[in-house]
Each structure stands twice: as C-alpha cells, then as structure tokens.
Amino acid sequence: MARILVTGGAGFIGSHLCERFLKEGHEVICVDNLLTGDRDNISHLFGYRNFTFLEQDVTHYVYVSGDLDAIMHFASPASPVDYLELPIQTLKVGSLGTHNALGLAKAKNARILVASTSEVYGDPLIHPQTEDYWGNVNPIGPRGVYDEAKRFLEAMTMAYHRTHGVQTRIVRIFNTYGPRMRMRDGRVVPNFICQALKGEPLTVYGEGDQTRSFCYVDDLVEGLIRLLWSDDLGPVNIGNPNEMTILQFAEKIIELSESTSTIDYRPLPEDDPKVRQPDITKAKSVLGGWEPKVSLDQGLRSTIEYFKQRLAMTA
C-alpha cells in the first residue's frame, strides 16, 4: 500500500481523491490551508486510521516526515470568481506551491501528478481541444492569474522531470462537478443548482450560447488514479466530451430539480471562453480504455441532492 500526499486535499476534487485512496487501503496525508477548501469535505475521513490532515499553506515550505510514494498536487482556487478575488494567492499556489510540491517529490523520490486545466487552452481556436494545442491565453486579463499559473505549473513540472528525473504526470482537467463543490464558489454548477432549488432566476451570462462539457467527479477521479500509476507523462485531457450551451445546461438543471425558476441574462465576464470540449482520444488510449461512465442526468441528480442537503443545513 502506498503513502500518498494530496495538496488541496480538503477541496472539491482533493477530498474525493483522499477518500478514494483511503478506500483502496492507502495511507493519505491531506495538506490544505482551507482558503477555498473546507474541513466539512474531509470530516468523514477522520475515522480512517491511515488519514492525517495538515493545515498548511503549500506556498510555504512543506515538511512531511517519513517516506512518500506519490503526491497529488491539487491545491488552488479553481473558480473564476475565486481567482478574481484571490489573484495573488492563485498565482502563488500555481508557481511557488508547485515548486514546493515538486521539490518534495524529488526529496522523497515520489511520483507526482499535478493538476493542470483546460484553461491552459484559453479561449481556444481549436475545437475540440487536443493536448498538442498550445492555447490562446490573455496573460494580463482577469483569468490570466489562473491560466498562466497553471501554464507555469506545466513548465516547472517538465523541468523537474527533465532536469531531476522526477516521475511526473500532468492532467488537464475540464469542467468537473459533483458533491462538495462550494455552494458560493461562483461556478455555474453550484450557482444554477442553488438558484433552481431556491426558485430564484438562473443567472445566465451573455446569451448563454457559450459551451462547456461537464464531467462527473467520480469519472474524473478514476482517470486521475489511472494516470498516476500509468507510464505516460502527459499532459492528458480528462473530462467528458458531452458539450452543450450554458442555456441548455440551465434548462436541464431547472428540469431535473423540478424548479419553476426563470432565466436572468447577465453580462458575459471578460475573456470567458466561447467553447470548450475535451478531445479524450489520448486519455482513452493511455489510461487503459478509460472513458466517462456517469450520464449528465445521473451526475446532476446526485449533485442536486447534495446541494439540497447543504441548503437545508444553512436554512
């Protein structure tokens, strides 16, 4: 069994990773400074003897005693609203935090998987996005703090691999949703579901004709685990190619939550990508036939259920 450190382990994806590793019998060290992570996401994991939580900021030196077999570097704000509010922390965790995580991997001779993003493609001129596309990013726009931090993360990761021979893996994560997203993180999934459940209008930005492709978190986690133990350095896109417009997505959420909400059109944020869809040909081939299994209806139903419970707790 492996000893695995997860940075951002109290976040949305990080907490699902911690849980999956613990269920497989591994030892998990979860590091999180709780800036956008939440102790509630991991409270059910404290019963595992093999689980440790360290409240630490990965942008500072990370000290872990003993050996490590693997590191999953998932610490970062990930919602456009969050990184607009936390631009410097977002840049620091993608750069200094990644440097520390890679340094730790080198010192412990551990393999490391780093979380990159479809945002490295910016507002893409190639559709769907393949891993060999270099992207169309505005470095000085509001989203640049996240996009460039993640592009730096990829460059630094390859430098550690080439210079120090560290066993690195890069994943480019496309829009992912599921339980444990923060209710007020500003992303489209929690926004629309909470609005629909409260009977408030759904805030569609622009005309709602921009597209996204949504992947359920369990499908993502399965791909991440396969990538960690695979021989492929990446980058590998992981996501669900089921693309739709944001207006269609709003209508789907109104339907599944049996809501009477209407649509409220709001201004489109600056640099909002017009299209996004992962080409997952590479993932399928290098991750042993991996592909998303959870349908949008199934995934949204369990996510709606989660937000119903959260809203009931805060009522």
The contact set with ligand UDP (CB under 6 A) reads 79-80, 175, 187-188, 191, 203-205, 210, 212, 246, 269, 272
115 in Cβ contact with 188 (< 8 Å): no
Asked if 129 and 279 touch (Cβ cutoff 8 Å), the reply is yes
**Is-contact 66 3, C-beta < 8 A?**
yes
Alpha carbon dihedral 120, 121, 123, 128, in 10-degree steps, equals -150
Question: Least Å distance between CB 168 and ligand UDP?
Answer: 24
The least distance separating ligand UDP from the CB of residue 192, rounded to whole angstroms, comes to 6
Q: 160 vs 249, which CB is nearer to ligand UDP?
A: 249
Angle at which helices 188-198 and 246-256 cross, to 10° = 40
The smaller minimum CB distance to ligand UDP, of residues 103 and 186, is found at 186
Give the residue among 110, 108, 128 at the shortest CA–CA distance from 118: 128
Residue with Cβ nearer ligand UDP (45 or 275) = 275
Q: Closest distance between ligand UDP and the C-beta of residue 253, in Å? A: 11
Told to judge if 265 belongs to the known catalytic residues of this protein, a careful annotator would answer: no
Nearest approach in angstroms of CB 138 to ligand UDP is 14
CB of residue 119 vs ligand UDP: minimum separation in angstroms?
6
Comparing CB distances to ligand UDP, the nearer of 247 and 294 is: 247
Q: Which of 83, 146, 160, 216 is catalytic?
A: 146
Q: Which is nearer to ligand UDP, 129 or 168 (CB)?
A: 129
Any idea which residues carry the catalytic annotation? 146
